Every structure is written in structure tokens, then in C-alpha cells.
A and B are shown apart, each in its own frame.
Chain A
Amino acid sequence: MNDDRALELLSAAADGELGADDRAELDQLLLSSTEARESKAELEALDSLLKGLPELEPPAYLHAQIMARANPTTPPQRPAKFAWLGALVPGAGLRYALAAATGALVAAIFITTGSMLSDPDDVTDLVGTMAPNAASANTDVIDSFAFRDAGFESDVQLERSNGSLFLNVQMSTAAPLDISVDMAGAGLKADAIAQIESDFDLISLVDQALSLRAVGEQRLTILLRRVDDTASAEEAKISLEFSSDGRLLQRGTLTATL
């Protein structure tokens, strides 16, 4: 009996798929053949090696990205285009200029993020402008979270400016970093990109989930709004996940009474 036959029997035995006749043949073989016993030990080592490999965590953004693409027909709950600009930017002329700039920005975002956007229709939600800078005098930082790991730095701040809420994300990384922001616990949703600097590989705004992926120096400000505008003030919890290459690096939370 050759080594292949022994391995064939051992292979089926390891999978619990050995018939009674084959079982008897294998038992006899193991008793009589040193090579068969060596093959058994090798196969057990292989099994142990393969079964011992770590189970991998999917990237934090994967679920949101799949759902974004799976629901292209879900009507987005979006406000009238540019309506919120009035509250932020005084002067009709300047608002029109910014609205025009926004069109270019939306196109740029679409080109930059390409197919990573959930659906071409989604760009209608990416209405943005050169909105108030996070560092402006009227900005209050409600809560912030600093993520630091080897090769990764990111700061996420929940801010209030001129009565509006903003999420300000800054990052400086040596490798692609995924940031997943879940706002369901805060009753908030991403309403629009207010400011973007540099290019992101992924920007996905879906319902109450925001997924970002980028490398290098990046900054993004998102305008937030309450899902239920009539809801009373409550403690808001925004969950953050920082991951790279499918590896969860850190979780964090932003908390505030809105």
C-alpha cells in the first residue's frame, strides 16, 4: 500500500467521512506501517496548523457599505438643497457663489471616491460648502476623541457652531485608516459634507452611519442633524471604530447632551 492511499484514508478519517470498510483498512495500516503513522502525524500537524489560523474581523465599514449598495432605492431623507446655507452664510450673493462651488465639490467628491460611493444618487446628499471652520470663534467643542496608534493619529470632535452640529474628523496616517461612525445612539445623521480637505478613498453617508477611508493628512467636516427634530434633549452617544486593513485598532465614543 502506498503513501497516497494512506493519506487518502487519513484525509477522509480526519473529516469524519470514512466508511466502515475503509476504517478497518486504515486501522490495519496504522498497525503495520511506520510510514502510515508518520503520514497520520503529518496530517494532524497540517490540520492543527490550518485550524489554528486566526479568524479575521471584517473591516468596520463593510456592513454599512454593503447595506448602502443593497438599498439604492431607499429614498434619502434630505433637506432642501442648500437650505441650511442660509443659517450659516449671510448674504445671498455669497450663498449663490458657495452653492456653485458646492456643485464642483460634489463632482470632485464623486470622482475621488468613484465606485466606493453607495450609489450615484447618493451624491445628492453630499451637498457641501466651505462652511464654518471648526476652529472659528463661534465653535464649541462638545466632545472629542483622540486615537493614537503606531503610524496612525486621528481626532474626532463633535462641535456646535451657529446652532448647527458638526462632526470634525482629522487624520494623519502612514497607511489607510478606516473610521466608522455610528450615530444611531445619538439620534443624529450625517446631513452633508460641510468641508473637505484632501482626498478620501471612501466617504459613505448612509442613514446614521458614516464610513471613511483615507491615508495621509486628511480633514473632513460633516454637518449633522437630528433624525427627529422634535425630540427633547438627551444624552447622545456616537460610536467610533478605527481600523486598518481589516484589523480593528480601537473603539471610542463621543458623548454629549444635545
Chain B
Amino acid sequence: MDKDREMAMVADCQNGNKKAMETLVRELQKPVYNAAYRMMGSADEAADVAQTTFLKVFENIDRFDPKYRLFSWTYRIAVNTALDQLKQRKRTKPLEQAPESTMGLPQETTATSQLSAEVQSTLMELSDDQRSVIVLRYFSDCSYQDIGRILELPEKTVKSRLFTARRQMKRKLQEHGVLSL
């Protein structure tokens, strides 16, 4: 979506145009849901995060700053919502294992499905901060600048956090025998 169309859609949403709100959700629900799934590791929780994200978007659309891109602003809300829910999960269910990571995956071959599950499981072993940068970089295709804006971090910190997250991810995948190099 180009910037002009995005701004027109935001203006329509600010005026309470239901069609514009529907379009906004339709355009962004898939990337937001995917990012939420990779953050949460569960289809149900990802749907909850996505729903809460869009409700917050509409609630705060009047305060949208046009110097940002809509997707960047929406991801920021999504990641913060996911982080809040993860904190809540830890507070309320300290002994619970991470949810089954194969949930919500499309039909795949058994080998692909198992690999996806292993990778998702490894993602869930990272710290929330590390997982956030991996998710934004790989599953939301954000640049360092985008990630910095979304997470309110200097680009230098994004770079070092992404480096640390990759190193952790690489080690864990090697321990699990997924990355055999």
C-alpha cells in the first residue's frame, strides 16, 4: 500500500468510515497475525493479539502520527500487545510449557511441518526481546530503522540485539540438530 492511499485510509478511519476500517483490517490482518503467532507460538493467542491490536489501532487512530507508516505503527501496537500478553502468561502460568508450536500451521508435508515446529519451538526459547527483533526482521520484513521505531530502540541496539538473537537461535538450532553445520 503506498503512502498516499495509506493516509487516505487513515483519514477515512478517523472519520468513522466502516469500509475503510474493514479495508485496514483486511490489508494488515495477515502480517499482524503472522507476527503475533511467531511471538506467541499459539494460534488462539495470536488471534487474540491480532484482535486487540486492531481495536487499539481504531481506538487511537486519531493520534496516528503521519510521519510514521501505518504498518510500522500497527506492528508496534501488535508487538507491545504480544509482549504484554507474554508477561501476563508468565505471571499467571509460571509452570506451563510453551504452547504447541505446530498449531495453526497450514497443511504441509510431515517433514516441513516438523521443521516448522522445531524452528517455532526454538523461537519460543529466546528471550521476548530477542524474539521481537527476529520476528520483525524475518516475518515482518522490517529494516533496522523500522524495528528501531517499532521497539523504540536506537538502530545500534537493534543491530546488536539482532546479532545476539541470531547467535542464540543458531546455537539452539544446532543443539536441536536442526542446523547441522
Residues on A close to B: CB < 8 A?
A: 4, 7-8, 11-12, 15, 17, 38, 41-43, 45-47, 49-51, 53-59, 62-63, 65-67, 69-71, 74, 245-248
Contact = CB atoms under 8 A, between A and B. Distances in A.
A33 to B, nearest CB: 15
B51 A65 contact: yes
Given A56-B37, A62-B33, A50 B119 contact: yes
A43 B120 CA distance: 17
A69 B29 contact: no
Nearest to B123: A50
Which of under 10, 10 to 19, 20 to 34, or 35 or more describes the interface residues of B? 35 or more
A47 B61 CA distance: 35
Interface stretch (B4-12, B70-78, B82-90, B99-107): B99-107
A114 to B, nearest CB: 13
B126 interface: no
A67 B57 CA distance: 12
Contacts of B108: 54
B45 to A, nearest CB: 11
Given A38-B181, A49-B119, A71-B18, A66 B104 contact: no
A133 B68 CA distance: 55
Contacts, number: 122
B33 A56 contact: yes
B25 A67 contact: yes
Given A7-B163, A63-B22, 14 more contacts: A42-B179, A45-B179, A46-B179, A50-B134, A56-B106, A57-B30, A59-B43, A63-B26, A66-B54, A67-B18, A67-B22, A70-B55, A74-B18, A245-B44
Given A70-B21, A246-B103, A11 B29 contact: no
B50 A66 contact: yes
A17 B144 contact: yes
A67 B54 CA distance: 9
B124 interface: no
Contact of B55 (A51, A62, A69, A248): A69
17 contacts: A15-B162, A17-B144, A42-B181, A46-B166, A53-B116, A54-B108, A56-B106, A57-B30, A62-B51, A63-B22, A63-B29, A67-B18, A70-B25, A70-B58, A246-B103, A247-B105, A247-B106
B105 A56 contact: yes
Contacts of A4: 163, 167
B178 to A, nearest CB: 7
B39 interface: no
B5 to A, nearest CB: 19
